[in-house]
Amino acid sequence: MSTPKPQAARAQVRRHASGVAAKRKPPVGDEQALAFYRQMVLVRRFEERAARAYTEAKIGGYCHLNLGEEATVAGLTAALRAGDYIYTNYREHGYALARGIAPGRLMAELYGRQDGVSRGWGGSMHMFDVEARFMGGYGIVGGQVPLATGTALAIDYRAGAEAVVCLMGDGTTNIGAFHESLNIAALWGLPIVYVVNNNGLGMGTTVEQSSAEPELYKRAAAYRMASARVDGNDPAAVFEAMRAALASAREGKPYLLETMTGRMKGHSVVDPATYRSREEAEALKAADPVAAYAVKLLDHGVLTDDLIAQVDAEALSTVADAVAFADASPHPNVTTLFDYTYATPVPHDSRRLPGEALYPAAPRPLLSETSA
Amino acid sequence: MSIISYRQALRDALREEMLRDDDVFLIGEEIGLFEGSYKITAGMLEEFGSRRVRDTPIAEEGFTGAAIGAAMVGLRPVVEIMTINFSLLALDQIVNHAAKIYGMFGGQARVPMVIRTPGGGGQQLGATHSQNIELYYSFVPGMKVVAPSTPADAKALMLAAIRDDDPVLVLENLALYNTTGDVPDDVQPAQIGRAKIARSGADITVVSYSRMATVALQAAEHLAEDGIDAEVIDLMSLRPLDRDTIVESVKKTNCAVILEDDWLTYGIGAEIAATISDGAFDWLDAPVRRVAMAEVPMPYAKSLELAALPSLDDAVNAIRETLDAVARRR
């Protein structure tokens, strides 16, 4: 992993994005802008450390990272109220962090340990925390979309004031559950914001190759649902767009928000992304949202070089503590294997281990036992 | 005690639970204004309103998933899937989500949801509307699957399913809706995971569930006239499966016939036969016999449909042949 330090990327970002880094003040206050930046750096450092742990074989299975999505993570989660629910897909570590779940519990989940946020049952794709109303990472593309819609239905049923945010990738807009769910949400006026994070690629397939309408926010028109597209590399823009979307949802008008980002690495840790040209990879690196935001905040005097170093040091320290916590957490005890099949215990629930017989081998009964 | 239909028993259970608990609501296609494709929910919209009796678009994946998401935050949805055939459109939500969410997130979210859906052939509905695919759900840890054969059991199991904190599929049956039976006035929730001995006997064990359990009892009464004393086990619960009741019965009778409405190969009966082999091999005096549907897509023509479905005669003959085999061995 050789992600450029914010300072190093500064000049490069200026070259590529001189028009973007305008001299006007960001649309949020300095404190909020700094909070976005801290959040983005923490996600960046956490994900880089997760990638390293994967290569060290501390993490197994699939591992999808939010590298390149940090601005959307920070802006989106900052717009949520404490009681709001968030559903995500399998690229969810950053959102879980930003929802305030302890980094150690998230790293422990990646490590498959007892103190993991899902007790070691979920792994990278299935983080969940009921306290944070973080309603899960889901590994089946689009599996979370009907579920999130149902949670919005429950809010409506109880006349609650909360809202639901349902995250998905660009590829998800092509599955049937997307259509069924948006139709239901619009019909019933449910308090939900669907967020399509468009990073241009579903694994290796581009949006243009997979979507007949590649401007994905326009899909909402089929349901007479309000929608917008926003620069997902700008946390303040995402924050403002999410606030508007959530306000709409709370009034019973569901919303579709498309956030435009770039996926800086492969689909997962093990994907070298050879389907991307050198130029594309370079452009993504140049558009690095963390570096770009640092430059912007430096220009606005919100950040200084010292503060950048301090924020980075704090993030690295938090992540190091998370790794230490994960490493120290025990592997789940095998005696807990059958603890989470059913919430309501019932007789004859199978607790057989693979090598065990259903019934012990029986001797042939005496003739007197068998005759009627 | 009163004599009511299987349909009425289901409706009574739903109504009682809706009156008891505001978190219980009904969701599905045509359940409100149309009063249900098979009229199980007749009168419910009028009594409870559209908040609690929610008509959906034709979107099994969407509304089944929505029910799961509502259950995850504490509501107790009862989903009607018009027939079990259409549940295939919701397979991802049922198998990958409802059944996994409790385990996958380390016990943090429960899915107290019921899926009511009828199986069954014999109505000349053709290949896609006559299937018995309860096996698909019975295969999956995290699911509970119950299959009542009588009005009293239908009510008791529906009450249990609604109060259970796990996803429960209640397998109804098109051919049973109009059947009647005694239902006590104060039916208590059944215990999911227990089979019942519907008729005790000494000569042969007949294992069945749903519609075929009623056929099993008819066969037993018929054979009783010839002095054959069959024991009939009604599984009631397909997952968890009460293996012990089956094994204990076979240890007593030394032979068994399984009656099932699904296809034979890899079917529910295959699991029962394997259970008998595991638990009562040394007590068996004849091979375990299975009576199951012919392995074809269900035809429309009545003559072909009748030939494909297991009948009372098939059951009686299989029992007689198995007892003949036992007699030859002894």
Average model confidence (pLDDT) across chain B: 97
Single residue among B130, B155, B183 that ends a domain in this structure: B183
Q: Tell me which residue in A118, A183, A339 faces B57 most closely, judged by beta carbons.
A: A183
Note whether B60 and B89 are within 8 A (CB): yes
Phi-psi region at B294: left, alpha or beta (left = phi > 0; alpha = psi -120 to 50): beta
Give the 3-state secondary structure of residue A242.
helix
Same domain, B175 and B302: no
pLDDT of residue B58: 98
ipTM of the complex: 0.97
Cβ–Cβ below 8 Å for B166 and A343? yes
Q: What is the CATH number of the domain that holds B30?
A: 3.40.50.970
Residue B191 lies in a domain: no
**Are residues B140 and B86 located together in one domain of the fold?**
yes
Tell me how many degrees the CA angle B147-B153-B158 measures, rounded to the nearest 5: 70
Q: Are residues B39 and B18 part of one domain?
A: yes
Residue B146 lies in a domain: yes
Radius of gyration (C-alpha) of chain B in whole angstroms: 20
pLDDT category at A4 given cuts 50, 70, 90 is: very low
| pLDDT at residue A366 in the model | 62
Q: Does the pLDDT of residue A11 top 60, yes or no?
A: no
Question: For residue B203, what is the domain's CATH number?
Answer: 3.40.50.920
Structure-token pair, residue B136: 């698909």
Q: What values do phi and psi take at B173, rounded to 5?
A: -145, 130
Residues B168, B224, single domain; the answer is no
Binned at pLDDT 50, 70 and 90, residue A15 comes out as: very low
Q: Which of residues 286-315 of B touch A (CB under 8 A)?
A: none
Q: What's the mean pLDDT in A290-304?
A: 97
Tell me the whole-structure pTM to 2 decimals. 0.94
- The domain total for chain B is 2
Residues pairing with B24 in the sheet: B76
Q: Do the bridges between strand B230-234 and strand B196-199 make them parallel or antiparallel, or are there none, so unpaired?
A: antiparallel
* Model pLDDT, residue A372: 46
Asked whether A189 and A254 are in contact (CB, 8 A), the reply is: yes
Residues B179 and B201 in one domain: no
**Torsion over CA of B55, B57, B59 and B60, rounded to 10 degrees?**
20
What share of chain A in percent tops pLDDT 70? Answer: 90
Q: Is residue B190 part of a domain?
A: no
Asked if residue B308 and residue B249 are part of one domain, the reply reads yes
Chain A residues with CB-CB distance to B68 below 8 A: 146-147, 150
Hey, what are B186's tokens? Answer: 């104060």
Q: What's the rounded Cα separation, in Å, for the pair A52 and A59?
A: 9
Contacts of A367 (CB under 8 A, 6+ apart): none
Q: Are B14 and B43 in contact (CB under 8 A)?
A: no
If we measure between CA atoms, which residue out of A109, A79, A114, A111 comes closest to residue A92? A109
- Is residue B236, in this structure, part of any structural domain at all? yes
Q: What is the pLDDT of residues B171-200, one digit of tens each?
A: 999 999 999 999 999 999 999 999 999 999
Chosen domain end from B160, B183, B206 = B183
With bands split at pLDDT 50, 70 and 90, how would you rate the model's confidence at B12?
very high
Yes or no, beta carbons of A348 and B142 under 8 Å apart: no
- pLDDT, tens digit, 9 for 90 and up, residues B71-124: 999 999 999 999 999 999 999 999 999 999 999 999 999 999 999 999 998 899
B161 and B256 part of one domain: no
Give the CATH superfamily of A6-329. Thiamin diphosphate (ThDP)-binding fold, Pyr/PP domains (3.40.50.970)
pLDDT above 70 for B56: yes
Q: Please check whether residues B117 and B215 belong to one and the same domain.
A: no
| CA gap A130, A133 in Å, rounded | 5
**CA A179 to CA A150: how far, in whole Å?**
14
Q: Are residue B20 and residue B151 in the same domain, yes or no?
A: yes
Q: Kindly report, residue by residue over A58-96, the tens digit of the pLDDT.
A: 999 999 999 999 999 999 999 999 999 999 999 999 999
Domain, as residue range, for B54: 2-183
The structural domains of chain A, with segments of one domain joined by +, span 6-329
Please write the tens of the pLDDT for every residue from A220-242: 999 999 999 999 999 999 999 99
How many cross-chain Cβ pairs, A to B, lie less than 8 Å apart? 186
Tell me if B188 is assigned to some domain: no
Q: Strand, coil or helix: what is A76?
A: helix
> Do B109 and B137 reside in the same domain of the chain?
yes
Alpha-carbon distance A142 to B28, whole Å?
Answer: 21
**From CA A108, how far away is CA A113, in angstroms rounded?**
5
Please give the torsion angle defined by the CA atoms of residues B66, A218, A234 and A76, in that order, rounded to the nearest 10 degrees: -10
**Do the Cβ atoms of A85 and B275 come within 8 Å?**
no
For residue A195, what pLDDT is reported? 98
Instruction: Say yes or no: B288 and B141 in one domain.
Output: no
Residues B51 and B173 in one domain: yes
Contact B132, B120 (CB under 8 A): yes
